[in-house]
Amino acid sequence: MAYQSVWPFRSRRVDSVKLSGDGWIAKYTTALADFKASKEIIALPAGMLATAIGAEVRHEKLDSQIQAVARNAIGLASPLPVTSGQRNVSALYAEAEIPVLKGLDFQVATRFDHYNDFGNSSIPKSPSSTSRWRTCCSAALPARAFVRLRSTTYSCRTPKL
């Protein structure tokens, strides 16, 4: 069966202008080594204080180039520059989980990254930056209650914090 286009005015001339081949070739590689350690270190009244440390070293490389067939198809007289580069990234992190009450833990963490192409990045995490309070309300209904749902109104009030 011949190819049917959704474009009703398609002609043989349009079909004769086909491009084949790879228009854009890109290769990305990563080499990675990391180290992680974690341990519960101190018994507190609400539970064990847990810590974790880690380090990572990474090498990234990219080579991306538009091919002549694609460059000609979009009408570029001059070649597009080749996008290529590489960088090294190293990182250190530490984290602690501190039990305050039974069922309530705080996490404190930090991460430091060094990129050889643009500099450093530091990401701290503390209870004040990650604490969220959420209330939840639900109703448990037996299976036979769904028959009466149209005649019964269920409501729920969320407490103010």
Long-range pairs for 113-119 at CB < 8 Å and ≥24 separation?
113/89, 114/89, 114/90, 115/87, 115/88, 115/89, 116/87, 116/88, 116/89, 117/85, 117/87
- What pLDDT, in 10s, does the model give residues 81-123? 678 899 999 999 999 998 888 878 888 999 999 999 889 999 8
Kindly report the length of the chain.
161
Give the pLDDT band (50/70/90) at residue 18: low
- In sign, the C-alpha dihedral spanning 65, 67, 68, 71 is negative
pTM of the model: 0.56
Which sequence spans correspond to the domains of the chain?
30-131
Q: Count of CB atoms within 10 A of residue 51's CB?
A: 16
Percentage above 70 pLDDT, the chain: 57
